[in-house]
Chains A and B, each alone.
Chain A
């Protein structure tokens, strides 16, 4: 009957891996068993009307845990950042479609911007040395998960807005010379639009993980709309149920 897990889960580990960026490991065996890269969880925040959608950064089926890396953006995420190991947390997970990784012997380019980087980590793992991460951050102190990607065999290329780490500029500046067969991307919409355009020009499939203000998380309320191309014209799909991962060619990028 039940396909999502809302059982009481427990925080096992917490670390602030960069100022305002938190790394949680949560014990939730059933969700971990079902989860795939690119899916997300809805975190209950006591006293708040809406849950907070946070993407899955890591899946450890053997230990029955999920890893989440999130940024404090407002009151809800601040409350989540105050949770400590040993405390319970209520998750609705796993939600959404996740990445369809396909043939992992392909050369895969992962493109992430800021807090868009975490959901790419689990997706990059099976590609090992066939993966390259091009990631952009605000500055040196906001660079996250670089070592995690490298430990999977992935090459990392970093850009920062202020040039304090890696190359100064945009993620797209990092990949001009690179050959790749498939792109997986998550980050700000202008970045996704740019990488989608580049992938289309090169004739390479591109999958983007999108974000939108969300309520139910399961496809009932139709809140988290995203404009998509359909056979009978443009229509509004929904990030929580039709996504969060979309084939970039189906997304209407123009405002």
Chain B
């Protein structure tokens, strides 16, 4: 049997499948379908320092091969998470990643400091949310601000620090290198691509926020390309995400340079996707006599 375990910045994941932030809540809804230990890890819904109401609806629009969302980081706040959700999630036998988003570097630092005392395995720095006016992607779209917020949080964060990158940039390799230089232990990429849809009848954007984040299968080739480019520029591990729906997509993402993957939007059409992906991945490894999934990382043979 192939070894599915992966290690990202000192954290052991039982397998390389991690639920992507924003698609999985804090895990309770999906625990009705299968034990969360099925997953290597869970990246929790993006947290802010204080409770956040989110954006007005409509927040969802379907697109060819994907969907837009403009949820806008609706969440109960970091203290509520630590008090009400983390103790339960901690018991589910999966690695716990806290995803944090701030309006200012100070807010990121306060959350990282607070979570450093909590029972989370890793902190994922969300500098790439396209749906909030302040902060979010504003930090993630220039090398200087991405590096500055990473360096600031690094001083307060005692947990392994993963930085989630935005695809809405001109040179993903530059950003990846800048964030690594500022002290990140890992990268996760890509967050959603900013998009838009318009209702022909009303001539209004379907989303009340006008724009939203594109996710789903349409993103996969973009994510593969960016993971490939970024992983060739940095030494720290890259967790790949964006449009993964099948075990084949996972293998591609690992070959492109990812050490683990996150899966998100596919859960909306098939909540059991992680179970099926894992079965397929395991069969692929066994059939091809690949002893460990970690051997696939970066093994693409570019022309």
State whether A6 touches B268 (Cβ < 8 A): no
Task: Render B207-230 as a binary contact track against A, CB cut-off 8 A, 1 for contact.
Answer: 000000000110000000000000
The tally of residues in A whose CB lies under 8 Å from a CB in B reads: 31
Task: Render B51-91 as a binary contact track against A, CB cut-off 8 A, 1 for contact.
Answer: 00111111111110111010100100000000000000000
Q: Given contacts A220-B23, A220-B30, A221-B22, is CB(A227)–CB(B66) below 8 Å?
A: no
Q: Given contacts A49-B66, A221-B23, A223-B60, is CB(A216)–CB(B268) below 8 Å?
A: yes
User: DSSP class of B's interface residues: helix, strand, loop or mixed?
Assistant: loop
Q: Given contacts A49-B268, A50-B269, A216-B23, is CB(A224)–CB(B60) below 8 Å?
A: yes
Q: CB-CB < 8 A to A172: which residues of B? A: none
CB distance from B5 to the nearest CB of A (A): 25
CB distance from A67 to the nearest CB of B (A): 24
Q: CB-CB < 8 A to B53: which residues of A? A: 235-236
**Of the residues A6, A76, A224, A225, contact of B271 by C-beta under 8 Å:** A6
Task: Render A30-55 as a binary contact track against B, CB cut-off 8 A, 1 for contact.
Answer: 00000000000000100011110000
Is B289 an interface residue, CB under 8 A from the partner?
no
State whether A225 touches B56 (Cβ < 8 A): yes
Closest partner residue, chain B, to A76 (CB atom): B62
State whether B62 touches A49 (Cβ < 8 A): yes
CB distance from B249 to the nearest CB of A (A): 14
Is A198 an interface residue, CB under 8 A from the partner?
no
**Of the residues B25, B30, B45, B216, contact of A49 by C-beta under 8 Å:** B216
A134-142, A207-215, A243-251: which lies at the B interface? A207-215
Closest partner residue, chain A, to B33 (CB atom): A2
State whether A214 touches B216 (Cβ < 8 A): no
State whether B29 touches A218 (Cβ < 8 A): yes
Q: CB-CB < 8 A to A235: which residues of B? A: 53
Most buried by B among A50, A214, A220: A220
Closest partner residue, chain B, to A241 (CB atom): B29
Q: CB-CB < 8 A to B148: which residues of A? A: none
**Of the residues B29, B45, B58, B71, contact of A212 by C-beta under 8 Å:** B58
Q: Given contacts A49-B65, A49-B217, A236-B53, is CB(A1)–CB(B32) below 8 Å?
A: yes
Is B267 an interface residue, CB under 8 A from the partner?
yes
CB distance from A253 to the nearest CB of B (A): 14
Q: CB-CB < 8 A to B59: which residues of A? A: 213, 222-225
State whether B269 touches A220 (Cβ < 8 A): no
Is A188 an interface residue, CB under 8 A from the partner?
no
State whether B71 touches A223 (Cβ < 8 A): yes
State whether B62 touches A50 (Cβ < 8 A): yes
The complex places the Cα of A49 from the Cα of B244 at a distance, in Å, of 12
CB distance from B53 to the nearest CB of A (A): 6
Q: CB-CB < 8 A to A50: which residues of B? A: 60, 62, 67, 268-269
CB distance from B297 to the nearest CB of A (A): 28
State whether B25 touches A219 (Cβ < 8 A): yes
Contact sample, A vs B, 9 pairs, CB 8 Å cutoff: A6-B270, A49-B269, A215-B60, A215-B268, A216-B23, A222-B71, A224-B59, A225-B56, A235-B53
Beyond A213-B59, A215-B69, list 14 extra A-B contacts (CB 8 Å): A48-B62, A50-B62, A213-B57, A213-B61, A216-B29, A216-B271, A218-B29, A219-B29, A221-B71, A222-B74, A223-B59, A224-B59, A225-B59, A227-B56
